[in-house]
């Protein structure tokens, strides 16, 4: 059994990575697109850049997980790729600070950020089943969710404040120390524990194995498919929230609106992630996943009919709480079912739900908003209703997942 301190510090890298992702996806990239691209194609440009970058990130995540299954060095099994990914992020964020508004460079920066972050993430996520006993994985996943949400809160708070002040370059630079410190804490915690049997591996071999599961885990992919639909439902608003506050709710400073919403939503979500993560160790993961998905869909249905910022905030907090809890418990469920010999590969498959939804959601939602040119409100109404449908489809598919 692991100590509570181990479970907590092991999860620290999630803070840095999610501070980066929420800052970039919700605030930095939309602000770059707002200035670097013509008004007529902004929603399409934002959706296209996000989809392309995330798709490459998903590929890197899976590749990193499979390669780390097959290596063992003096400093560990997953450790080398975690170090490489986090170190590569640092010059990328400096590059963003110096060249924030050149359209071609905006695309290149986002792709590099996705590749580097997923190189680290793909080797980090298998550590949950590698190092944490099954009876503690819900608690550990709760801490992962907690740090995910703290990272998100810092992104909304710090980056929202800086972008709102027109200091996008400083917002980019501020990511660097957070990534460095959080990765150092995780690496220090796992030092000496990150061990495994070495087997033959190479990039070519990993690519060949990428979509050929090496172990048979019955019904595992129903978790991936069901979670994918739920997360498609929750992911789109992240990219277009700034525009919703600006053009529909009419906030004078929409970046501040994004920051305030994010902080309150994430405070509620932290409690839900840790509480339901621990509860899943006792009552099972599957039923919690299904119930939170249904609750998220109902909350999403309410959003477009709330016409003030403060009423919107209440429903958004409900969506955030269900999504935060869902993500934590899903990670523990996938970890329970991942075979010991291929934890990197199977946790990467699980992450396809997150990465795939992040790639698809902005394209779908961007198209829905774009097609409603005559009314920006009708575009967002269509986006919210479609998102709720995705939640309900996902909850239905999760009934087919294995029993726990």
Residues 301-311 have a mean pLDDT of 86
**What's the CATH number for 4-400?**
1.20.1250.20
Counted residue by residue, the chain has a size of 404
User: Does the structure show a pLDDT above 60 at 198?
Assistant: no
3-state helix, strand, coil in the chain (%, to 5): 85, 0, 15
The structure's pTM equals 0.73
User: Does the structure show a pLDDT above 90 at 402?
Assistant: no
Measure Cα distances from 178 to 22, 123, 256, 270 in Å.
13, 19, 21, 19
Nearest to 117 by CA among 93, 147, 150: 93
The contacts found for 364-367 with CB under 8 angstroms, 24 or more apart, are 364/47, 364/232, 364/236, 365/47, 365/236, 365/237, 365/239, 365/240, 366/43, 366/44, 366/46, 366/47, 366/48, 366/239, 366/240, 367/44, 367/47
Q: Given pLDDT bands bounded at 50, 70 and 90, which one contains residue 204?
A: low
What are the tens digits of pLDDT across the range 25-71? 878 888 888 888 887 777 788 878 877 887 888 889 888 888 888 77
Q: What's the burial of 68, exposed, middle or buried (CB within 10 Å: 0-12/13-18/19+)?
A: buried
User: Does the structure show a pLDDT above 90 at 294?
Assistant: yes
d(CA 245, CA 253): 8
pLDDT of residue 20: 93
Q: What is the DSSP string of 41-80?
A: GHHHHHHHHHHHHHHHHHHHHHHHHHHHHT--BTTBSSHH
Partner residues linked to 73 by β-bridges: 76
Partner residues linked to 76 by β-bridges: 73
d(CA 322, CA 58): 24
pLDDT of residue 314: 87
Residues 324-337 have a mean pLDDT of 85
Task: Write out the two tokens for 79.
Answer: 């450790």
Task: Write out the two tokens for 352.
Answer: 């396809």
What are the tens digits of pLDDT across the range 151-163? 877 887 889 889 8
Q: Mean pLDDT over all residues of the chain?
A: 85
What are the tens digits of pLDDT across the range 8-30? 999 999 999 989 988 888 788 88
Domain boundaries in the chain? 4-400
Q: Given pLDDT bands bounded at 50, 70 and 90, which one contains residue 318?
A: confident
What are the tens digits of pLDDT across the range 349-379? 887 787 777 778 877 888 888 887 767 788 8
Measure Cα distances from 382 to 203, 236, 309, 368 in Å.
42, 12, 19, 7
């Amino acid at each position: 059994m692991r100590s509570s301190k181990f479970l907590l510090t092991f999860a620290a890298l999630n803070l840095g990575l999610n501070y980066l992702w929420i800052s970039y996806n919700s605030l930095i990239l939309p602000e770059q697109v707002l200035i670097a691209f013509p008004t007529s194609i902004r929603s399409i440009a934002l959706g296209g850049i996000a989809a392309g970058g995330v798709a490459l990130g998903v590929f890197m995540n899976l590749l990193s997980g499979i390669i780390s299954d097959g290596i063992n060095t003096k400093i560990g099994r997953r450790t080398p790729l975690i170090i490489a990914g986090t170190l590569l992020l640092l010059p990328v964020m400096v590059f963003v600070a110096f060249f924030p508004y050149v359209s071609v460079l905006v695309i290149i920066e986002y792709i590099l950020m996705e590749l580097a972050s997923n190189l680290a993430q793909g080797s980090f996520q298998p550590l949950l089943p590698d190092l944490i006993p099954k009876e503690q994985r819900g608690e550990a996943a709760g801490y992962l969710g907690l740090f995910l949400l703290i990272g998100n809160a810092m992104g909304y708070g710090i980056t929202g404040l800086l972008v709102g002040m027109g200091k996008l370059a400083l917002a980019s630079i501020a990511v660097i120390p957070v990534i460095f410190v959080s990765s150092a804490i995780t690496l220090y915690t796992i030092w000496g524990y990150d061990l495994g049997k070495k087997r033959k591996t190479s990039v070519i071999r990993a690519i060949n194995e990428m979509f050929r599961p090496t172990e048979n885990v019955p019904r595992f992919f129903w978790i991936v498919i069901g979670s994918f639909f739920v997360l498609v439902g929750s992911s789109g608003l992240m990219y277009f929230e700034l525009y919703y506050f600006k053009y529909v709710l009419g906030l004078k400073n929409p970046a501040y609106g994004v920051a305030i919403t994010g902080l309150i939503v994430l405070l509620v979500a932290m409690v839900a992630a840790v509480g339901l993560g621990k509860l899943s160790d006792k009552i099972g993961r599957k039923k919690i996943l299904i119930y939170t998905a249904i609750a998220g869909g109902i909350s999403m249905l309410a959003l477009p009919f709330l016409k003030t910022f403060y009423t919107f905030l209440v429903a958004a907090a409900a969506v955030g709480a269900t999504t935060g809890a869902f993500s934590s418990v899903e990670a523990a469920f996938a970890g329970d079912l991942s075979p010991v010999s291929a934890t990197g590969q199977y946790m990467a498959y699980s992450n396809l739900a997150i990465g795939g939804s992040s790639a698809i959601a902005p394209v779908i939602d961007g198209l829905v908003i774009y097609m409603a040119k005559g009314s920006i409100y009708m575009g967002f109404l269509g986006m919210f209703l479609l998102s709720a449908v995705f939640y309900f489809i996902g909850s239905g598919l999760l009934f087919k997942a294995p029993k726990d």
